């Protein structure tokens, strides 16, 4: 069945280091969305990518959508403690405009 | 604040019991989604309603049911509760209007269910 795989499951970084999480879909996606869930919080929408090869930036966050629209990445430059949380990618289920299939999330942990 | 409200915030109950979780979507949003998140796990999609009708079903147990009312609020009913049902239950809403609109989901704060 349709799947979205997200790696790694966890990433431990020192504050100031970079962080990257990757999503790979078993099918071509019409778009991909990224969400962030802070510890104890709820998922919050970050961004949506629609075009093949699209790159979008939000301050230190860079989001990419692959040329084949089957993979995506989120890269954070110079992590800060405020970046801590779990990052999820999600793409629409085939033939559905509304239902999303979610990656398992990557938990960003800042080493003390 | 996402505009999605969920009640109650916390719920503690015993095995075998039945509970109802309530969700009010953002004003104007027609779609409501229910998710289950166990400790440190990902989001498990349970069910989606669109304008009062069931639109999609995920990994929802037969002991669980949901509905969306004419005023668009939704309720998730969990019955014959087991220890393993302890989790955070999120409701999300989206505009979901039109074939070409891919709408982000706005999540409520969640209901933390503890089954003892």
**Residues of chain A found within 8 Å of residue B110, distances taken between Cβ atoms:** 42
Which candidate, A96, A78, A112, places its Cα nearest to that of A29?
A96
Is residue B70 predicted with pLDDT exceeding 90? yes
Asked whether the beta carbons of residue B42 and residue A88 sit closer than 8 angstroms, the reply is yes
Could you say which DSSP state residue A26 is in?
A: S
Give the pLDDT of residue A72: 98
**How far apart are alpha carbons A83 and A110 in whole angstroms?**
9
Which candidate, B66, B68, B73, places its Cα nearest to that of B53?
B68
Percent of chain A with pLDDT over 70: 97
B9 near B22, Cβ under 8 Å? no
Q: What is the mean pLDDT of chain B?
A: 92
Is residue B16 predicted with pLDDT exceeding 70? yes
Which candidate, A74, A78, A85, A77, places its Cα nearest to that of A33?
A74
Q: What is the mean pLDDT of chain A?
A: 93
- The whole-number average pLDDT for the span B37-51 is 89
Give the pLDDT of residue B39: 83
Q: Distance, in angstroms, between A17 CA and closest chain B CA?
A: 24
Q: Sorting pLDDT into bands at 50, 70 and 90, what band is A92?
A: confident
Give the pLDDT of residue B102: 59
**Residues of chain B found within 8 Å of residue A103, distances taken between Cβ atoms:** 42
């Amino acid at each position: 069945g349709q799947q979205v795989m997200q790696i790694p499951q966890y990433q431990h970084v020192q504050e100031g280091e970079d962080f990257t999480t990757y999503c790979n879909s078993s099918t071509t996606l019409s778009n991909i969305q990224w969400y962030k869930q802070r510890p104890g919080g709820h998922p919050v929408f970050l961004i949506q990518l629609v075009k093949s090869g699209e790159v979008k930036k939000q301050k230190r966050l860079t989001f990419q959508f692959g040329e084949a629209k089957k993979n995506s990445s989120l890269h954070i430059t110079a992590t800060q403690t405020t970046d801590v949380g779990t990052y999820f990618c999600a793409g629409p289920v085939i033939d559905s405009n509304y239902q999303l299939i979610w990656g398992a999330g990557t938990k960003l942990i800042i080493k003390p | 604040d996402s505009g999605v409200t969920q009640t109650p915030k916390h719920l503690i109950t015993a095995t075998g019991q039945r509970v109802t979780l309530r969700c009010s979507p953002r004003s104007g949003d027609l779609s409501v989604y229910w998710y289950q998140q166990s400790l440190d796990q990902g989001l498990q999609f349970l069910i989606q309603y669109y304008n009062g009708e069931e639109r999609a079903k995920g990994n929802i147990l037969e002991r669980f049911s949901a509905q969306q009312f004419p005023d668009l609020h939704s309720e998730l009913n969990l019955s014959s509760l087991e220890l393993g049902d302890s989790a955070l239950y999120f409701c999300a809403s989206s505009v979901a209007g039109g074939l070409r609109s891919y709408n982000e989901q706005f999540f409520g704060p969640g209901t933390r269910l503890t089954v003892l």
